[in-house]
Amino acid sequence: MPDQPTVLRWETLTKTAFDRLDRGRCVVLVTCSPLEVHGPHLPLGADALEGEGLAERMLRFLPERHRQRTFLKLPLVYAATDVVPQPGSLFFRPSTTLAFLQDLGASLAAQGFRDVLVSNFHGGPRHFVALEQACERVSRRRGIRMVSVFSLVLKRLATKGGESLEDLLGSIPGLRVEDLAGDTHGGLLETSQLLALCGGWVDPVYKELPRSTVDGWLARTQGGGSELPLGRLAGFRTLLRSNRGSMRYFLERTYSGAPSGASAEIGEQILDRLGARAAEDVAQLLDGALSPFDCHSPLWRLRFLFLNPWMIRLADRLLGFRNPIA
């Protein structure tokens, strides 16, 4: 594997060092992912750490033609919505995420930066669709390329006839495909990645945690499940039904999956495979072969339902949800 590209932390630069940058050749990296409860075993910054981990792992797999660029890393942004409604999670409205990233993109464009990659590892639709909306608006209004890397990965995994999450990760030694069912939050996948990224911050209690999933819990308590299958799309009614079950579950539980099967070795493989896939699309973006307006997740077409304030209020009312931490 070639040497890691140059990554500079924005907050460490002096004015002199900043002025020496060729801003048109720089790629700005920023992770926008929540501080949120992930079971009793993972740090509250799990999604943020995974978002930064995905972006940094992606850089390892970029082709040589882009490895000479300078990657400028901004501090973490933790403004996110759709977080687990437990004390310790920090909740923001989608409009806050949108406003922040739009202002950030406008400021970067005004200073001559042409490429901005927003990373994330939080699957809340109202969060990652807000990232996409902000990137879309900045790209159109400012003439730069601002893209959500997480949405690029989702697009690849949900493309008809393309590779599924099971295809991508199912062959990892020590990981069973059946373990991926219901593994949506703080389970094997996320625990493995955190063990690889910052194992000292993971409580060893993960080895003793039983498998627990939204579907399994609903089958026992409500007589049926409502979780969406991985990689499948559904209509708004199905999404609403799924989210209602998930809300009830996460008011009581804090993880979904089987964290006891996690390992740092599995985590390294997950990061490598996701990073490699992301690098393929980012390379096309930097080459100009992929438009920033073609980098959306499958849920982009439903953005009005996720981002319109009135629709958000209606959805919360239909879900019977009152956020206890907001």
Vertex 116 angle, CA 9 and 56, to 5°? 50
- Mean pLDDT in residue range 5-22: 96
pLDDT at residue 236 tops 60: no
Q: What is the pLDDT of residues 113-132, one digit of tens each?
A: 999 999 999 999 999 999 99
Which band of pLDDT confidence, cut at 50, 70 and 90, is reported for residue 244? confident
Q: Are 122 and 34 in contact (CB under 8 A)?
A: yes
Residue 281 one-letter amino acid: D
Per 3-state DSSP, the chain is made up of helix, strand and coil in percentages (nearest 5) of 55, 10, 35
Which band of pLDDT confidence, cut at 50, 70 and 90, is reported for residue 207? very high
Which band of pLDDT confidence, cut at 50, 70 and 90, is reported for residue 137? very high
pLDDT of residue 299: 94
- Burial status of residue 8 (CB atoms within 10 A of its CB: 0-12, 13-18, 19 or more): middle
Residue 270 and residue 257: Cα distance in Å, rounded? Answer: 16
Residue 50 and residue 120: Cα distance in Å, rounded? Answer: 7
pLDDT at residue 3 tops 90: no
In three-state secondary structure terms, 196 is helix
pLDDT at residue 223 tops 70: no
Which CATH number among 2.40.128, 1.20.120, 1.10.287, 3.40.50 corresponds to the domain 6-180+273-319? Answer: 3.40.50
pLDDT of residue 225: 45
**Ranges 141-145, 216-220, 234-238: which has the least confidence:** 234-238
Residue 24 one-letter amino acid: G
Q: Are 233 and 253 in contact (CB under 8 A)?
A: no
**Ranges 61-75, 214-228, 251-265: which has the least confidence:** 214-228
Axis crossing angle, helix 264-287 with helix 188-198, rounded to the nearest 10: 90
Which band of pLDDT confidence, cut at 50, 70 and 90, is reported for residue 158? confident
Highest mean pLDDT among 23-27, 163-167, 229-233: 23-27
